[in-house]
Amino acid sequence: MQFKDLGLDNRLLKNLKHYDFKKATDIQQQAIPVAIAGKDLLASSKTGSGKTLAFVLPMLHKSLKNKSFSAKDPRAVILAPTRELAKQVYGELRSMLGGLSYDAALILGGENFNDQVKALRRYPKFIVATPGRLADHLEHRSLFLDGLETLVLDEADRMLDLGFAPELRRIHKAAKHRRRQTLMFSATLDHAEVNDIAAEMLNAPKRIAIGVSNEEHKDITQKFYLCDHLDHKEAIL
């Protein structure tokens, strides 16, 4: 199936064409129509399956088609378990924002808090964040989520394994209103805590499972690098 067959806004199709994206992957074919329809989603797919665009594209499509709930609050927040993954997601989001009059912010733990406060005061419409630091900004009242339209949990199983359940619940409570859509992605749906928190945060979600989570992924090569310090690690990444 081609991206043009999924009902996406022409401005997004133009950006996809610029990066030579034509055919949607399995997870994109199944998740995008569900998300565009405004339904909550609980999805599982292998790493490298294209799941980032499976939530970025419908999130942007809805923002282009619908009026914002709030002039100042972000329209969407994407949570990722690690700094590295958040940076990857942010990069893909930025690529799809080309030519659109939207701003985005990357909010990570381990970086200057006051600089992030300044970035949030510019009222970005899209935020990619690690859950601990986002919860810190909610506590500091440098961020409000009353007008949040879409909450995305990417690799929810890893966030829970890393102990972020309290932060996820804090974020959920800050944006708990009936109009919010929640999209949750996990490497596996066979995870008790994932299902528990999905029951709390999602409303009658559509469940999608693509592939087998413990199946060997032939498209991934693992490499090991020795790093001298954090800056060296960041340079390699």
Name the more confident of 127 and 217.
127
Q: How far is CA 210 from CA 21, 28, 49, 188, in A?
A: 20, 10, 9, 10
Q: Identify the band that residue 228 occupies on the pLDDT scale cut at 50, 70 and 90.
A: low
CA atoms of 42 and 141, how far apart (whole Å): 30
| Strands 41-44 and 181-186, sheet pairing | parallel
Supply the Cα-derived Rg of the chain in whole angstroms. Answer: 17
- What number is the average pLDDT over the span 215-226? 54
Are 130 and 80 in contact by the 8 Å Cβ rule? The answer is yes
Q: How many domains does the chain have?
A: 1
CA atoms of 100 and 205, how far apart (whole Å): 29
Q: Identify the band that residue 34 occupies on the pLDDT scale cut at 50, 70 and 90.
A: very high
The answer on pLDDT for 237 being more than 60 is no
Q: Identify the band that residue 49 occupies on the pLDDT scale cut at 50, 70 and 90.
A: confident
Q: Identify the band that residue 216 occupies on the pLDDT scale cut at 50, 70 and 90.
A: very low
Q: Identify the band that residue 236 occupies on the pLDDT scale cut at 50, 70 and 90.
A: low
Q: Which domain CATH number covers 140?
A: 3.40.50.300
* Number of other CB atoms surrounding residue 169 within 10 Å: 16
Residue 226 belongs to what domain range?
3-236
Per-residue confidence (pLDDT) for residue 129, from 0 to 100:
99
| Sequence-ordered list of residues with C-beta below 8 angstroms from that of 235, at least 6 positions apart, any chain | none
Per-residue confidence (pLDDT) for residue 230, from 0 to 100:
57
Per-residue confidence (pLDDT) for residue 70, from 0 to 100:
81
CA atoms of 68 and 62, how far apart (whole Å): 10
Minimum mean pLDDT among 69-78, 108-117, 130-139, 157-166: which range?
69-78
Q: Identify the band that residue 107 occupies on the pLDDT scale cut at 50, 70 and 90.
A: very high
The answer on pLDDT for 214 being more than 50 is no
- What number is the average pLDDT over the span 117-141? 98
Per-residue confidence (pLDDT) for residue 9, from 0 to 100:
96
- What number is the average pLDDT over the span 72-99? 97
Per-residue confidence (pLDDT) for residue 217, from 0 to 100:
45
